[in-house]
Structure 1
Amino acid sequence: MIYRITYILISVCLTITPMLSGMMNSSQESQPADPDQYHIESNSQTDNQILWSFLDITQPTVNMLKYDVLHYEINLELDFNTESISGYGKVTLKSTADNISFIDLNLGNHLTVTQVLMNDTINLNYEHLDDHILKSYLNETIDSGDQISLMVYYSGFPSNSPYLKSMHFYEELGSHVCYTHTEPYGSRFWYPCKDFPFDKADSIDVIVTHPDNYTAVSNGLMQSRVDNGDGTATTHWHSGYPIATYLITIGCTDYELYSQPWEYSPGDTLSIDHYYYPGASPEISWSSIHAMIDYTIPALETFTYWFGQYPFIDERYGHNHYGSSGMEHQTMTSIGPARNEEMLIVHECAHHWCGNKITCENFHHVWLNEGFATYAECLYQLYHYGEDSYRDLLDYYKFYDVWKLYLDNINFYHINNGIYFKGCWVMYMLHMILGDDGFRQAMHQYFNDPELAYGTAITDDLEIICEEVYGAPMDWFFDQWLYQDGNPDYYFSYIFEPNPETENYTIFVAIDQKKEWETFIMPVEIRAHTSGYDSTITVFNDERSELFAFDFPGVPDSIQIDPEEKILCQVCYEDEFTAHIVSEDPDDGYVGVPYFYEFKAVGGTPPYNWSLINGRVPYGTDFHGGSSAYINGIPTSASEFLFTLRAVDSSVPPQESEQTFTLKVLPAAPMCGDLDYDQAVNVNDIVLLINYIYLDGDVPDPIEIGDVNCDGKIRLVDVIYIVNYVFRDGLEPCHDCP
């Protein structure tokens, strides 16, 4: 195996305190939620098989890329007797290309279109195609920047949709209910739209005519309710925030309302409105209305702290009972009447930041919605219940050997536990790398970035912001966890020996990643214990097999890898510490300067038999193998030399270690006193040295060339030394520098 060694000098820490601590305390414990209860069931084979037969619904047409949706108006009458709908959907759009002669919209072909009007008055010809595309032919072409509206009159039975996610009528607990549940591609099966998350409407109006003893709820704020005098009423809802199609909702039944104010800042309140079935009222112990009332405001407080102000503060937050598990419809989260679960309320609330304010641009990156919201549950536990509850929920969501987060094939759209569980752990690991302050800063920047807020994002957008906070590229982190299956497994062993130079002990820790996954690159904590104290270092593990060495002031009685469980990984201790080469890349050499470097191995059974098995050492030098290993000679050519050594121990059977090294030979060594690098020491160098010492001039590079008498300091005596050499035939600058 090939090993690389990193040496780290550490200091002893008497205690290791947890990185995170709860900001608030509560004696109440909560049960973690199962992702199967969320709005996209993790293993719904029936749903996925149906999706498979409708591959064409997952991609926009070319025409859809040539316009931008500005507004949706949905005006429907709900007939509960026939469980049908009728009315119109109006799409206001702006062209982003020239010479557009038709507009494609998504609309299920189980619905019957009777008329399409442009700008409210002009009848258009149209085709309603088998792939659920409504193609409307314009009476004249439009160009980039032109704005038009299409009003589509239609009717039908939405529950007859060939796709499970749509509008449904059903009866439960004595209530006859109409509700919607459409993520990812089901909005087209109840209203005409461009049904892809990359194009959000700037605002919406939802107008519902319904039995006058019913209440209709939707997104945003209610604008009006008019009694029509014929047994029906018409309710108008409006939202002025950008919104994705799958987040638009209608809920209609004999709802009752429970409202509570949330004072989100001194003197400012937001109405929290819970619409519940009479058969699942607060008097019913199992009703989810209890979780809505008890946990919504604590959830909003948590995410305001971690992510910033509630994104839809000018409207409201609410819940309505509906016929599925849970769905984060914007400003009106839908919850099943029997889902009396704290974490479900918390999860869907979190989506108002991760999913609603910033929506995944496409469902390849849906982990940005679901992984975020699942980790948000953990942040909620930390905020309200403390470190132990936080860790318990993280442990519940720890699953190994899960496939990658990026969904290659969104045609099949197989949302799996990995999106929730692994996504949660990726957010947690990001938190651990950035630290509390850095993570919170990154979250506030992400959710308030003017290019992303109320729009869409892909993982690269999150990565860019995290890199700004981290201060260095993070592609090594995001690429592996997004596009790579599995997780690291760390097999480790260690050995120690006295270090006569420091009077401490040098500990050698070998880490191997043995599973079939590609190598994971991560900062890994190593903790050494001895009687009365312990010490933790962080190493950057970026090799399949790697050896780390560090000083420790005592004989270690145990070593731990990832002791705080900051990585989604499995750790296994191996008793035998096999033979390892422990040398780093050799020191640089200089042309014409004598060179010597010796290599070292530990572990296994000494002595070792060394050999050069690949590459070459610098010209003018030789590698000496056998019972020892060293390079000596005088380099004659400046270059970079790559070579691999093998050390075989005396065990039966023998153990061996291989390591590849890079040795750089630089041009002739810089002359002491030659600050202008012209291969001569003269008056120009005197001026540069005086400028550096007294006038804040350029720093010599390397700095040792300014130390012309080689006493370890650069000061006036060096100026005198070089003046004597240049003008008085004094001693030449020390030839041993640098």
Structure 2
Amino acid sequence: MCIRYLFLLLLPLIASAQTEPVGELSCRMSKIRSLERLANNPKARLAYPGDASIDVTYYGLDLRLTTTPASLRGATTITLKSTSAALSSFFLDLNSTSATTGEGLRVDSVKIGNQKVAFQHAQNKLTITPPQALTIGQALTLTVFYQGVPNSSAQGSFKFDKHDNTNDPVIWSLSEPYGAPDWFPCRDTPADKADSSSVRITAPAQFISVSNGKLVSTTTNPDGTKTYLWRNSYPIAQYLISIAVSNYAQYDTPFIYGNQTMPVTHYIYPENLAQVQTTLALTPGILQLFTNRFGPYPFLREKYGHAQFANANGGMEHQTITSMGLSSLTPTVIAHELAHQWFGDKITCRDWQNIWLNEGFASYAEAIYIESVSGQSSYQAYMNSFMSRARNARGSIYVQDISNFNNIFDGNRSYAKGAAVLHMLRGVVGDSTFFQILRTYAATPALAYQTAITADFQTVAQQVSGRDLTYFFSQWIYGEGYPTYKATISTGNTQNTVNVRLEQRNTTATNPTSFTMPIQIKVQSAAGDTIVTVFSNQADQTFAIPARGAVTNVIIDPNNWILKVIESSSTTIVTGLSEPERKGLHIYPNPTTETLQLDFTLSTAGPITLSLANLLGQQVRTTSEPTLTPGDYSRTINLRGLSSGRYVLTVTTPNGVQSQVVLVR
């Protein structure tokens, strides 16, 4: 890919980097930054979802790796079952050698037991003809022997790389969504999870080789190599199988669950370990938080941990061992990737159309983490950032075109709007019911360690809440856009009532034309405030709302539970709690070093507060002014003495609360 094309792919991310929640941005960057050959990827998923006539039950990878020269010799053992009555041949996904680069894998042979069998490797398919046709349900174990240099056709799916500063070698994989066939034969669909897997890695003896599951053995070989055998005993999707090989330093932060101690092991470049140890030590606490919220960690028999990879920003939720770029080792990214162990790894989206079940859930888990360490106001600020991004989403959260990488991993849709949907569901059903829905979803036998689509999550949500949520999922997952509300009030039949006319339209799309949602309306009076929830299911409705006295103000959705825009009303008594207008706040330079300049417009007189917090929610700079008149203002924040990293700047004015991410170098 030419540099210009890569830059164009990254432009939307660069433009949004100031307002996107850090974990979501970093995770998305991991799946964008290495898009080196995606534009020319021949796998526009003509074969998706692989060969449906087989069901893979086991992957056993045996890899021998060298760095000078870069090479891979592999023997992948696969156990599968026939799903056809008389299966005379079948194919596995294994990418062919690139005619452009010459990179790729060459298959030497395929064996069933000790017997070589006929095969053909062309057009990214490895077609195998067993000696006898298979009956339905009949199992078969075969081994594919191959060698070469993986061509990394999908976002750097397998890389022979170097450390940034020391030039030490590192070898790593990142297969989501379509990269697994770059380095091992498989059925390339998340719908077909193997029951178990193992990865044996032989590499130069100075390296530590890391993969999924438990470390079974290490063997020092006479030829100057060392072999690590990792075994995973849980169901696993093909794209979650991973390797990371380098001269790692090991850092352990065990997690205690009841009477059990589970290893939490971090494999970090030795030159970087000291600067990230404090952050890595947060992992057991986040494990405990998510255990309380989602249920027991799904892979307690094995481990969790991180393996540093690449030189870029980002993370990838490989099962039991997340791959992380150095700059992504922050609390929110750790929370995001850890949440994937429940939502993405334990329960995997059955197809890439439903990727929000992975990314929306993990993104929302960032907000859950922020809420746990910094409280409700920080949670709201974090969700405001997601909702700001979500209003830029186009198309449905359900991905219509999965042949395009950016469609699947659209940060506005799959991440930000997906998180906003869960926030709204929490508002609809209430806190205790919402978290019971998440725990039940993760524990449902038909879904746990299996796959799911949106309908499965909807079924659980309806069963737990006792509500028909068809309207909710049909409009927010399969529909597009968001509502714009306009409220107008008139005098009620008595002094203690008010009529609220609520008009709405879809701001960005025609499906649905209007939204059905329960909406809180706050009625303010001198005698006190009243919050009433109405069920808005028409484009134009009028509601009679009780009040404690003469009405002074009406606020629509005062707790900001709905992704929306409030349209100004001509009636002076009515105000809507609208989303902060980003155009009224300008922060620069960003990134910055010693000072940060803020330009903002105040349309209502009142106090302002400027607060800069680190990602643990700790305030590091704060200033307030009791009264400002309407107008344009500029303020400067001195950043001298702050450590480099990401911070959240929150600006509180009478017009609302706005938050942006600031990068200090």
Instruction: Report the TM range for the smaller structure's normalisation.
Output: 0.7 to 0.9
Match of 2:245 in 1: 252
How far the C-alpha of 1:516 sits from its partner, in A, is: 4.9
Q: Secondary structure at the match of 1:398?
A: helix
- Find 2:119's aligned residue among 116, 123, 126: 126
Instruction: For 1:202 and 1:218, locate their aligned partners in 2 and report how far apart those are by CA, in whole Å.
Output: 17
How far the C-alpha of 1:32 sits from its partner, in A, is: 4.2
* Larger displacement relative to structure 2 (368-377 or 468-477): 468-477
Q: Which amino acid aligns with 1:568?
A: L
The alpha-carbon distance between structure 1 residues 157 and 508, as it changes in their structure 2 partners (threshold 3 A), is closer
Match of 2:152 in 1: 161
Match of 1:416 in 2: 410
Instruction: For 2:78 and 2:28, locate their aligned partners in 1 and report how far apart those are by CA, in whole Å.
Output: 27
The alpha-carbon distance between structure 1 residues 468 and 396, as it changes in their structure 2 partners (threshold 3 A), is same
Q: Is the 8 A contact 1:379 1:390 kept in 2?
A: yes
Match of 1:308 in 2: 295
* Residues 422-443 of structure 1: CA deviation (Å, up to 9, x unaligned): 0110011111111111011111
Is 1:271–2:271 an aligned residue pair? no
Instruction: For 2:458 and 2:362, locate their aligned partners in 1 and report how far apart those are by CA, in whole Å.
Output: 17
Q: Is the 8 A contact 1:289 1:337 kept in 2?
A: no
Match of 2:334 in 1: 345
Instruction: For 2:431 and 2:303, locate their aligned partners in 1 and report how far apart those are by CA, in whole Å.
Output: 29
Is 1:75–2:62 an aligned residue pair? yes
Match of 1:683 in 2: none
- Find 1:196's aligned residue among 168, 189, 211: 189
Match of 1:490 in 2: 485
Is 1:88–2:54 an aligned residue pair? no
Q: TM-score, normalised by structure 2?
A: 0.77
Match of 1:219 in 2: 212
Q: Secondary structure at the match of 2:425?
A: helix
- Find 1:462's aligned residue among 446, 457, 460: 457
The alpha-carbon distance between structure 1 residues 350 and 361, as it changes in their structure 2 partners (threshold 3 A), is same
Match runs of 1:409-448 below 5 Å: 409-414=401-406, 415-417=409-411, 418-448=413-443
The alpha-carbon distance between structure 1 residues 529 and 350, as it changes in their structure 2 partners (threshold 3 A), is same
Q: Secondary structure at the match of 1:65?
A: coil
Match of 1:335 in 2: 324
Q: Is the 8 A contact 1:40 1:183 kept in 2?
A: no
Instruction: For 2:212 and 2:65, locate their aligned partners in 1 and report how far apart those are by CA, in whole Å.
Output: 17
How far the C-alpha of 1:36 sits from its partner, in A, is: 3.3
Match of 2:534 in 1: 539
How far the C-alpha of 1:444 sits from its partner, in A, is: 1.1
Instruction: For 2:23 and 2:420, locate their aligned partners in 1 and report how far apart those are by CA, in whole Å.
Output: 15
Is 1:261–2:254 an aligned residue pair? yes
Match of 1:370 in 2: 359
Q: Which amino acid aligns with 2:291?
A: T
Q: Which amino acid aligns with 2:342?
A: W
Which ranges of structure 1 fall in alignment gaps of 5 or more residues? Answer: 1-30, 578-738
The alpha-carbon distance between structure 1 residues 57 and 155, as it changes in their structure 2 partners (threshold 3 A), is farther
* Residues 458-481 of structure 1: CA deviation (Å, up to 9, x unaligned): 000000010112212211000111
Identity of aligned residues (%): 33
- Find 1:570's aligned residue among 531, 543, 565: 565
How far the C-alpha of 1:57 sits from its partner, in A, is: 5.5
Q: Secondary structure at the match of 1:379?
A: helix
How far the C-alpha of 1:53 sits from its partner, in A, is: 4.4
How far the C-alpha of 1:382 sits from its partner, in A, is: 1.7
Q: Which amino acid aligns with 1:162?
A: S
The alpha-carbon distance between structure 1 residues 182 and 448, as it changes in their structure 2 partners (threshold 3 A), is same
The alpha-carbon distance between structure 1 residues 81 and 241, as it changes in their structure 2 partners (threshold 3 A), is same
Q: Is the 8 A contact 2:253 2:264 kept in 1?
A: yes
* Larger displacement relative to structure 2 (504-513 or 477-486): 504-513
Q: Is the 8 A contact 1:512 1:546 kept in 2?
A: no
How far the C-alpha of 1:380 sits from its partner, in A, is: 1.1
Is 1:389–2:382 an aligned residue pair? no
Instruction: For 2:507 and 2:418, locate their aligned partners in 1 and report how far apart those are by CA, in whole Å.
Output: 21
Q: Secondary structure at the match of 2:140?
A: strand
The structure with the larger Rg is: 1
How far the C-alpha of 1:47 sits from its partner, in A, is: 5.7
Instruction: For 1:317 and 1:484, locate their aligned partners in 2 and report how far apart those are by CA, in whole Å.
Output: 37
Q: Which amino acid aligns with 1:381?
A: I
How far the C-alpha of 1:219 sits from its partner, in A, is: 0.4
Match runs of 1:518-557 below 5 Å: 518-557=513-552
The alpha-carbon distance between structure 1 residues 299 and 307, as it changes in their structure 2 partners (threshold 3 A), is same
Match of 2:233 in 1: 240
How far the C-alpha of 1:41 sits from its partner, in A, is: 5.1
Instruction: For 2:196 and 2:35, locate their aligned partners in 1 and report how far apart those are by CA, in whole Å.
Output: 34
How far the C-alpha of 1:498 sits from its partner, in A, is: 4.0
* Residues 328-350 of structure 1: CA deviation (Å, up to 9, x unaligned): 11001111123331111110000
Total equivalences in the alignment: 534
Q: Secondary structure at the match of 2:328?
A: coil
The alpha-carbon distance between structure 1 residues 319 and 516, as it changes in their structure 2 partners (threshold 3 A), is closer
Q: Which amino acid aligns with 2:540?
A: S
Cα RMSD of the aligned pairs, angstroms, is 2.0
Q: Is the 8 A contact 2:35 2:155 kept in 1?
A: no
Q: Which amino acid aligns with 1:393?
A: Y
Q: Which amino acid aligns with 1:242?
A: P
* Residues 557-614 of structure 1: CA deviation (Å, up to 9, x unaligned): 000100110001111231249xxxxxxxxxxxxxxxxxxxxxxxxxxxxxxxxxxxxx
- Find 1:171's aligned residue among 162, 183, 186: 162
* Larger displacement relative to structure 2 (409-418 or 452-461): 409-418
Is 1:139–2:134 an aligned residue pair? no
The alpha-carbon distance between structure 1 residues 338 and 497, as it changes in their structure 2 partners (threshold 3 A), is closer
Instruction: For 2:37 and 2:551, locate their aligned partners in 1 and report how far apart those are by CA, in whole Å.
Output: 54
Structure with higher RCO (Cα < 8 A, 6+ apart)? 1
* Residues 514-563 of structure 1: CA deviation (Å, up to 9, x unaligned): 63532111111111100141101111111111211233342100001001
Q: Is the 8 A contact 1:493 1:573 kept in 2?
A: no
Q: TM-score, normalised by structure 1?
A: 0.70
Q: Secondary structure at the match of 1:303?
A: helix
Match of 1:609 in 2: none
The alpha-carbon distance between structure 1 residues 161 and 47, as it changes in their structure 2 partners (threshold 3 A), is closer
Q: Secondary structure at the match of 1:533?
A: coil
How far the C-alpha of 1:263 sits from its partner, in A, is: 1.3
The alpha-carbon distance between structure 1 residues 473 and 512, as it changes in their structure 2 partners (threshold 3 A), is same
Instruction: For 1:53 and 1:125, locate their aligned partners in 2 and report how far apart those are by CA, in whole Å.
Output: 25
Q: Secondary structure at the match of 2:342?
A: coil
Instruction: For 1:254 and 1:162, locate their aligned partners in 2 and report how far apart those are by CA, in whole Å.
Output: 26
Q: Is the 8 A contact 1:43 1:416 kept in 2?
A: no
Match of 1:318 in 2: 305
The alpha-carbon distance between structure 1 residues 39 and 32, as it changes in their structure 2 partners (threshold 3 A), is closer
Q: Is the 8 A contact 1:490 1:569 kept in 2?
A: yes
Match of 2:448 in 1: 453
Which ranges of structure 2 fall in alignment gaps of 5 or more residues? Answer: 1-19, 97-103, 573-665
* Larger displacement relative to structure 2 (32-41 or 326-335): 32-41
Q: Is the 8 A contact 1:504 1:553 kept in 2?
A: yes
Q: Is the 8 A contact 1:51 1:163 kept in 2?
A: no
Q: Which amino acid aligns with 2:159?
A: H
Q: Secondary structure at the match of 2:287?
A: helix
How far the C-alpha of 1:107 sits from its partner, in A, is: 0.7
Match runs of 1:572-587 below 5 Å: 572-576=567-571
* Residues 88-117 of structure 1: CA deviation (Å, up to 9, x unaligned): 111101112210011210111120000001
Instruction: For 2:506 and 2:309, locate their aligned partners in 1 and report how far apart those are by CA, in whole Å.
Output: 48
How far the C-alpha of 1:142 sits from its partner, in A, is: 0.5
Q: Secondary structure at the match of 2:154?
A: coil
Instruction: For 1:100 and 1:40, locate their aligned partners in 2 and report how far apart those are by CA, in whole Å.
Output: 42
How far the C-alpha of 1:411 sits from its partner, in A, is: 0.6
Q: Is the 8 A contact 1:358 1:456 kept in 2?
A: yes
Q: Is the 8 A contact 2:528 2:549 kept in 1?
A: no
